[in-house]
Amino acid sequence: MTASTYFSYMPSPLGELLLVSDGDSLTGVYMQKQSHFSGMQPHWRRDDHCLRRARTQLLAYFANELQCFALPLKLIGTEFQRRVWNELLNIPFGQTISYGELARRIAQPNASRAVGLANGRNPVSIVVPCHRVVGAKGTLTGYGGGLPRKRWLLDHERGVPRAWLALGSVESLAMVGSES
């Protein structure tokens, strides 16, 4: 028997988000045209109520009213991926670290490429802040939702004025669809 999977959609400044839950924990936050997402499955059931708490917290995050999510998470991946994703939760709002630093933090100092691959497969975007990981010299590299969205999230967390973000997000998201 297949375990129950529930989903809901919500609007965001980054475009529509797909929220996924097993009924108890948040298991996915996916952006439109996100890399490494195999798509909705036929057995998934829509349940907006089940994902109400996640939606409320994401809306508060986008409104600059929340910096740290308090949601039950179930991170589905390999042991190594889960170690990487759990460490992402320790990166403070508005700050970034390099892939190399993330590798050091999980006691795998020579695994920055593997860390990058695991980071790119994070199933719970935004809530598990994979967008806070950058290249060694602070360059924007890799993001499953596209680099314009990564830039938007980092700017949002750094307090870039809303008017600029709104203008930038419209231009950037137009490019996201053409990146595929």
Q: What is the pLDDT of residues 24-42, one digit of tens each?
A: 999 999 998 877 787 888 9
Do both 96 and 170 map to the same domain?
yes
Residue 130 annotated as catalytic? yes
CA distance 63 to 82: 29
What's the whole-model pTM score?
A: 0.86
The one catalytic residue in 31, 118, 130, 154 is 130
- How would you label 96-132 residue by residue, b for 16+ Cβ within 10 Å and e otherwise? bbbbbbbbbbbeeeebbebbbbbbebbbbbbbbbbbb
Q: What is the pLDDT of residue 164?
A: 55
Residue 178 has pLDDT above 90, yes or no: no
Q: What is the pLDDT of residue 2?
A: 54
In sign, the C-alpha dihedral spanning 107, 79, 20, 142 is positive
Do both 85 and 170 map to the same domain?
yes
Cα torsion for 68, 153, 174, 163, to the nearest 10°? Answer: 100
Residue 111 has pLDDT above 70, yes or no: yes
Q: What is the pLDDT of residue 37?
A: 82
Do both 95 and 157 map to the same domain?
yes
CA distance 79 to 2: 22
Q: What is the pLDDT of residue 170?
A: 38
CA distance 69 to 77: 21
Compute the mean pLDDT over every residue in the chain, rounded to the nearest whole number.
88
Q: What is the CATH number of the domain that holds 104?
A: 1.10.10.10
Residue 167 has pLDDT above 80, yes or no: no
35 found inside a domain = yes
Find the range with the poorest average confidence among 65-69, 126-130, 141-145, 173-177: 173-177
Whose tokens are 């589905």? That residue is: 76
Do both 90 and 55 map to the same domain?
no
Do both 143 and 56 map to the same domain?
no
| Bigger pLDDT: 121 vs 167 | 121
**Residue 55 belongs to what domain range?**
6-62
Contact status, residue 153 vs residue 93, Cβ threshold 8 Å:
no
CA distance 18 to 173: 17
Do both 99 and 148 map to the same domain?
yes
Q: What is the pLDDT of residues 40-74, one digit of tens each?
A: 889 999 999 999 999 999 999 999 999 999 999 99
70 found inside a domain = no
| Bigger pLDDT: 1 vs 42 | 42
34 found inside a domain = yes
Do both 98 and 158 map to the same domain?
yes
Instruction: Report the domain count for the chain.
Output: 2
